[in-house]
Amino acid sequence: MTLRFVLWLGLLNASPDALSHSSPVEAALVQSLEDGIGAAKLGDWVTYEMEGGPSRSGYWRIAVVEEQRDALGRDAYWLELEMGTHGDMVAPLFRMRALVARDAGFNGVGITRLIVAYGADSAHELAPDAVSQLMTKSRHQPSLPVSAGPRTQGPVVREGEPNRILTAMGTIIATPVEVIDRRVVIKRIWVSEQVPVLHLAKLEIPSIGQSMEVHRYGHDAKAQLPIPARDQPQIRAEPLQRAVDPVP
């Protein structure tokens, strides 16, 4: 079970085949987080607008809201993720707060505490064993189908010159990085030091018309999802097979 499953579970109303329905741009966002955001500073935040076709638009906000050491004594920060239907995020549909070790990234190794809130529900923390259980295999990637035809060359990564691009935040200087497979641009990423947290200004997947673009960013993020009291019930996880076993 991957981190993506946790995110898509909240996003897609707990659909069991959520992973297969997640959009490529959302998957790219999660992958960026999994790769680590060690350079992010306290207070950094960024909101992205996702354009994934009809009824697949939305906004994601990522913010570094607090710094502290985790249970393993590592330098860590509280990272908040919110997903909503409006860029101002006055009423997000899903909220998550994770304690992430700075050098390890948003993955099974780095996360030691995880708090989630769905809709208007109050925040609940995952039990420690549930966190490790859900995140252990977060770096697992689904295998790609093997091409039957002959291939002369794999995908090529091409970096362009820094350029000005127009976003909802105005003009941003960003460097395009393209992934090209047999003359087709699979993915185009615009990297910019101006954009905090992920340094990602824009991501495009031209062939399917999906994109993710910075909507707002800043450096004054405050924690918005409260940490539940220690005596509050925690969310526990168990293998699906055990959960559906018939009662003897």
Task: Count how many Cα atoms sit within 13 Å of the Cα of residue 38 in the half-sphere of its side chain.
Answer: 9
**By CB under 8 A, residue 148 contacts another protein:** no
Length of the chain: 248
Q: Which is nearer to another protein, 161 or 220 (CB)?
A: 220
Task: Count how many Cα atoms sit within 13 Å of the Cα of residue 145 in the half-sphere of its side chain.
Answer: 3
Find the shortest distance in angstroms from Cβ 63 to another protein: 14
**By CB under 8 A, residue 15 contacts another protein:** no
64-93 burial, b at 16+ Cβ within 10 Å, e below that, comes to: bbbeeebeeebebbbbbbbbbeeeebeebb
Q: How many Å apart are CA 84 and CA 79, to the nearest integer? A: 17
Q: Which is nearer to another protein, 165 or 235 (CB)?
A: 235
Structural contact between residues 28 and 203, judged by C-beta atoms closer than 8 angstroms: yes
**By CB under 8 A, residue 13 contacts another protein:** no
CA angle (212 as vertex; 206, 218 as ends), nearest 5: 150
Q: Which is nearer to another protein, 56 or 86 (CB)?
A: 86
Find the shortest distance in angstroms from Cβ 218 to another protein: 17
Q: Which is nearer to another protein, 220 or 231 (CB)?
A: 231
Structural contact between residues 221 and 64, judged by C-beta atoms closer than 8 angstroms: yes
Find the shortest distance in angstroms from Cβ 232 to another protein: 11
How many residues interact with another protein (rule CB under 8 A)?
16
**By CB under 8 A, residue 120 contacts another protein:** yes
**By CB under 8 A, residue 224 contacts another protein:** yes
**By CB under 8 A, residue 119 contacts another protein:** yes
Find the shortest distance in angstroms from Cβ 228 to another protein: 13
Q: How many Å apart are CA 167 and CA 215, to the nearest integer? A: 7
54 to 113, contacts with another protein by CB under 8 A?
84-93, 95
Residue 230, both tokens: 């220690």
End-to-end C-alpha distance for the chain, whole angstroms: 28
Find the shortest distance in angstroms from Cβ 115 to another protein: 15
**By CB under 8 A, residue 247 contacts another protein:** no
Find the shortest distance in angstroms from Cβ 35 to another protein: 29
Sign of torsion over alpha carbons 18, 24, 26, 32:
positive
| Residues found near another protein in the complex (CB under 8 A) | 84-93, 95, 119-122, 224
